[in-house]
């Protein structure tokens, strides 16, 4: 199994607080990895470390074997790791198409002009927003903003996609659509790291899971294995139910 | 040796001035570029009281401080609170605050020019020498230094120990979280801003005893206060004091050994070096 | 590069406007020419300022510093070099200075940039003054046969260049990157944009343009000394004019320059001590009443008229 992304001993300290403690895991190509755990376990921080939003305190992160630990976010993005944000960040002064083009123009595959526009339109279609590129960001529904951000991420043709609680805050109908979308991405063969709380998503989408609690990895395996693990249950629900 | 002491004396007074800006920028999050004008106004007041009624600046301070407090409170409510409310991001607020306080600074200078004219004003108060460690220094500088130490010390204790002080430090670090624990952030910010203005005006009254001021010198002081606050780390009281002393020393050294006309250039160079080496200042928090 | 019919129309209008403006020295008298030079100068400065500070929201107060450096390039250079080399030289030196300033401050938040640029002119002025004191020289005389009309035409040429450059950047990758940076710098970085590099690159434009402007204006001053060349007031005026007109469009600053110049002239003649007050009030008006300048105002009016028209 060739690892596309690997973390070795990755630690993040904020002053005295250890938010991420010696994380070790690999992500194989075409794999969907779920990064799960109770609130405050360090999942989003780990994503931030991978994407370069936060600097690593100690440890090493490698993309296809070459280290990306010390690189700034823009270099990591150019090398092919793209992410969505917990609070959707679309560019307010531009319309949807331009937002998506941002990913196409500066991402992993740098395009310009008509080529970039074509890629952006294709991505909008893929996420189910075909023909709505001219809309202003403020006119979108919540799930459409998420779709728009996802399109921006995909427009750069990244090697690894980081989804930070992408399914959060969706109503049941939207959740179905969201799940279908990510399933389609998986079927395409994309490598995805999914930070999620929605158990349905984890069970149905993830090939493997890494479970975090208080910054450390407490379990790793298939969703079925991991969700039956007493340690994991204890971390989520407390001692009485384990 | 006398350079060191003179530098310290100057630095102590600078600390008071910078403390005012620290309260306004570090705690109330307003980059107040009219800070220097508040200082000059305090100096004017001291000058006026002294020349008209022989009232010692050390006493005038007790009039200047409350008046400046009230004035700054009003300024915050009228001009700055609307900006805080409408700003969509912290960066936007900073830009708006900069432009507004620039506007206020120019308006103040214009008004002061109209009312007081463009002349320099200085007066001699306590200008007899005092002997420390074998050299003589102006008693006015020493008095200003002592007063600055007392006030800074009182402020530090207040911020560190009192409940109100804790509240102000809370809104400096995390205003949204502060709101969640029931702190009236708006009122506290106004308080911090008003207090900062009062402290600056007091500093102005004290500094006018040994420096010459006029309506246009405000900008210089604003720049120095900014440099000190950033060097020490925005929002940190110890940092401000240490940075102020450092600047006082540097300026005195440059003025004595090289050239008095290069004091701002020296301060500025120091600023550049800090920006390159440690932009969060001595004790500042590195923003992620 | 493909140009739309809209583009052709704008280009033609601009060329026409430029041609008419160029005829000013022959059509109107000397006083009008003086005002013309002032307007042209501020237009160049404000438009190049807006090219950077508009999309990035970093308020640059360094205009006076670059301008002063430019005047000194002419002041010193004219004794040793032919005039036509001085302008490009000033441009290069301005760009180098801008790069240094940018490297020092543009990786940090906007506040540091504002403060740094605020002190820059003063810093250079103090250093030059000290240098003059040490070497015993005083100001520099710039004696040339360059007339006011020559200065005017050079400024018009520079203005045309700035507009062309602004137009090109707006359609370029760099322009796109800067709009993204202005919207959300973190998203910009995560999309793969080298934000610091983009900002620094763009900052070279107002830096070199302001320096070239200073170099062009030097003959008008005749006698150059530090306090004259590095007047901080210039930086503030440029900011006000650009913001008053609005940085959203390329022609925005021009719309701010013209009324403000006349207003300034009027105040200077009637109540000369109150120019500072005027500056202050202008800043306040911009922040509270015209946050997007006249451009924003026109846009809002047009939208309202458009929506009423639909009803």
- The minimal CB distance from C192 to the residues A74, A93, A101 is found for A74
Contacts of C187 in chain A (CB under 8 A): 85, 89, 91, 102
For chain B, say whether C118 makes contact (Cβ under 8 Å): yes
**Mean pLDDT per segment of 10 residues, for chain B of length 288 residues?**
80 87 85 89 85 78 88 88 78 81 88 77 67 69 82 84 81 76 81 90 86 81 88 82 89 84 84 81 60
CB contact under 8 A, A105 and C186: no
Nearest CA-CA distance, residue C307 and chain B, Å: 25
Q: Give residue limits of the domains in chain B.
A: 2-277
The per-residue pLDDT for C84 is 85
The per-residue pLDDT for B7 is 85
Q: Does domain B2-277 have CATH number 1.10.3470?
A: yes
Contact A83, A70 (CB under 8 A): no
C-alpha count within 13 angstroms, C-beta hemisphere, residue B42: 41
The pLDDT tens digits of the residues spanning C194-247 come to 998 999 999 999 999 999 999 999 888 888 888 888 888 899 999 999 999 988
Contacts of A103 in chain C (CB under 8 A): 191
Q: What are phi and psi of A26, to 5 degrees?
A: -115, 150
Beta-strand runs (E) in B83-183: 129-132, 135-138
CB contact under 8 A, A77 and C189: yes
Q: Where would I find the H helices in C57-170? A: 63-77, 83-105, 110-135, 148-170
Contacts of B21 in chain C (CB under 8 A): none
242 residues of chain A, pLDDT tens digit each: 468 999 999 999 987 889 999 999 999 988 999 999 888 888 999 999 999 999 999 999 999 889 999 899 999 999 999 999 988 999 988 899 999 999 999 888 888 888 899 999 999 999 988 888 889 888 898 889 999 999 999 998 998 999 999 998 888 898 888 899 998 998 888 899 999 888 888 888 899 999 998 889 988 999 988 888 888 888 877 765 54
CB contact under 8 A, C123 and B264: yes
Contacts of C181 in chain A (CB under 8 A): none
Q: What is d(CA A223, CA B43) in angstroms, rounded to the nearest whole number? A: 72
CB contact under 8 A, A53 and C190: yes
**How many residues comprise chain A?**
242
The per-residue pLDDT for A133 is 86
Burial, B25: exposed, middle or buried (Cβ in 10 Å; 0-12, 13-18, 19+)?
buried
Q: Which two tokens stand for residue C98?
A: 């801008």
Chains in contact with B, where contact requires at least 3 CB pairs less than 8 Å apart: C
Q: Give the mutation candidate from C182, C190, C196, C249 for the A interface (greatest A CB count, under 10 A).
A: C190
C-alpha count within 13 angstroms, C-beta hemisphere, residue A93: 13
The per-residue pLDDT for B208 is 84
Contact C220, C37 (CB under 8 A): yes
For chain B, say whether C233 makes contact (Cβ under 8 Å): no
CB contact under 8 A, B230 and C112: yes
The per-residue pLDDT for C311 is 42
For chain C, say whether A86 makes contact (Cβ under 8 Å): no
Beta-strand runs (E) in B95-205: 129-132, 135-138
Contacts of B259 in chain C (CB under 8 A): 130, 133
Query: Three-class SS of residue B8?
Result: helix
The stretches in chain C having pLDDT less than 70 are: 1-2, 306-311
Residues 6+ apart with CB under 8 A from B74: none
Nearest-10 Cα torsion for B109, B264, B262, B274: -170
The per-residue pLDDT for C309 is 53
Query: Three-class SS of residue C18?
Result: helix
- The minimal CB distance from C189 to the residues A74, A92, A112 is found for A74
Could you give the ipTM of this predicted complex? 0.87
Q: Which residues pair with B136 in a beta bridge?
A: B131
The per-residue pLDDT for B119 is 72
Q: Chain A: residue nearest C2 by CA?
A: A113
For chain C, say whether A82 makes contact (Cβ under 8 Å): yes
Contacts of B103 in chain C (CB under 8 A): 279-284, 286-287
């Amino acid at each position: 199994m060739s690892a596309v992304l690997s973390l070795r001993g990755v630690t993040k300290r904020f002053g005295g607080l250890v938010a991420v403690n010696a994380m070790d895991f690999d992500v194989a190509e075409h794999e969907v990895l779920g990064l799960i755990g109770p609130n405050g376990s360090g999942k989003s921080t780990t994503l931030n470390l991978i994407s370069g939003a936060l600097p690593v305190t100690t440890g090493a992160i490698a993309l296809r074997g070459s280290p990306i630990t010390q690189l700034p976010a823009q270099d990591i993005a150019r090398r092919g790791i793209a992410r969505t944000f917990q609070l959707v960040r679309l560019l307010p002064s531009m319309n949807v198409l331009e937002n998506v083009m941002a990913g196409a123009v500066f991402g992993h595959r740098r395009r310009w002009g008509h080529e970039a526009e074509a890629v952006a339109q294709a991505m909008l279609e893929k996420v189910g927003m075909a023909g709505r590129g001219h809309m202003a960001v403020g006119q979108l529904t919540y799930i459409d903003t998420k779709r728009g951000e996802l399109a921006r991420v995909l427009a750069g043709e990244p090697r690894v996609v980081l989804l930070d609680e992408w399914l959060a805050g969706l109503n049941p109908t939207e959740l179905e659509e969201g799940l279908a979308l990510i399933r389609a991405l998986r079927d395409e063969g994309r490598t995805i790291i999914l930070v999620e709380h929605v158990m349905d998503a984890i069970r149905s989408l993830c090939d493997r899971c890494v479970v975090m609690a208080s910054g450390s990895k407490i379990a790793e395996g298939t969703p079925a294995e991991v969700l039956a693990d007493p340690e994991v249950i204890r971390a989520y629900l407390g001692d009485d139910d384990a | 040796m006398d350079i060191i002491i003179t530098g310290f004396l100057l630095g102590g007074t600078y600390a008071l001035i910078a403390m005012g800006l620290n309260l306004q920028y570090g705690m109330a999050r307003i980059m107040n570029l009219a800070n220097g004008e508040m200082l000059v106004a305090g100096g004017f007041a001291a000058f006026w009281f002294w020349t008209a009624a022989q009232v010692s600046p050390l006493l005038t301070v007790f009039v200047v401080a409350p008046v400046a407090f009230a004035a700054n409170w009003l300024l915050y409510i009228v001009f700055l609170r609307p900006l805080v409310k409408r700003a969509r991001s912290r960066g936007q607020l900073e830009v708006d605050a900069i432009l507004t306080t620039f506007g206020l600074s120019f308006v103040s200078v214009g008004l002061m020019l109209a009312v007081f004219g463009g002349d320099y004003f200085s007066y001699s108060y306590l200008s007899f020498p005092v002997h420390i460690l074998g050299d003589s220094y102006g008693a006015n500088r020493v008095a200003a230094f002592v007063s600055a130490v007392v006030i800074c010390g009182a402020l530090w204790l207040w911020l560190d120990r009192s409940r109100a002080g804790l509240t102000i430090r809370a809104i400096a670090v995390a205003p949204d979280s502060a709101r969640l624990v029931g702190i009236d952030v708006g009122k506290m910010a106004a308080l911090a801003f008003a207090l900062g203005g009062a402290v600056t005006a007091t500093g102005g009254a004290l500094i006018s005893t040994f420096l010459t001021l006029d309506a246009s010198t405000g900008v210089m002081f604003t720049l120095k206060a900014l440099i000190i606050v950033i060097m020490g780390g925005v929002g940190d009281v110890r940092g401000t004091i240490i940075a102020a002393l450092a600047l006082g020393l540097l300026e005195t050294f440059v003025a004595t050994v090289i050239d008095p006309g290069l004091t701002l250039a020296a301060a500025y160079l120091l600023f550049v070096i800090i920006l390159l080496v440690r932009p969060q200042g001595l004790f500042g928090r590195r923003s992620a | 590069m493909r140009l739309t019919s809209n583009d052709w129309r704008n280009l033609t209008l601009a060329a026409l406007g430029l041609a008419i403006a160029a005829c000013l020295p022959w059509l109107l008298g000397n006083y009008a020419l003086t005002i013309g030079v002032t307007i042209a100068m501020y237009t160049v400065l404000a438009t190049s300022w807006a090219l950077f500070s508009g999309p990035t929201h970093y308020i640059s107060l360094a205009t006076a510093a670059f301008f002063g450096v430019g005047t000194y390039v002419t002041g010193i250079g004219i004794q040793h070099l032919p005039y036509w080399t001085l302008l490009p030289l000033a441009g290069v030196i301005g760009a180098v200075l801008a790069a240094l300033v940018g490297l020092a401050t543009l990786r940090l938040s906007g506040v540091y940039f504002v403060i740094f640029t605020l002190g820059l002119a003063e810093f250079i002025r103090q250093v030059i003054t000290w240098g003059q004191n040490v070497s015993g020289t005083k100001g520099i005389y710039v004696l040339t046969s360059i007339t006011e009309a020559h200065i005017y035409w050079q400024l018009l040429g520079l203005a045309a260049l700035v507009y062309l450059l602004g137009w090109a950047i707006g359609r370029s990758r760099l322009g796109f990157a800067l709009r993204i940076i202005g919207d959300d710098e973190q998203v910009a970085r995560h999309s793969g944009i080298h934000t610091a590099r983009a900002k620094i690159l763009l900052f070279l434009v107002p830096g070199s343009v302001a320096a070239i402007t200073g170099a062009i204006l030097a003959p008008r001053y005749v006698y150059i000394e530090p306090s004259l060349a590095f007047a901080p007031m210039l930086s503030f005026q440029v900011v006000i004019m650009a913001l008053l007109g609005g940085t959203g469009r390329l022609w925005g600053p021009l719309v701010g320059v013209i009324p403000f110049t006349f207003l300034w002239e009027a105040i200077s003649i009637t109540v000369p001590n109150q120019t500072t007050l005027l500056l202050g009030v202008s800043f306040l008006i911009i922040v509270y009443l015209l946050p997007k300048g006249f451009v924003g105002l026109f846009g809002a009016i047009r939208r309202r008229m458009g929506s009423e028209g639909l009803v």
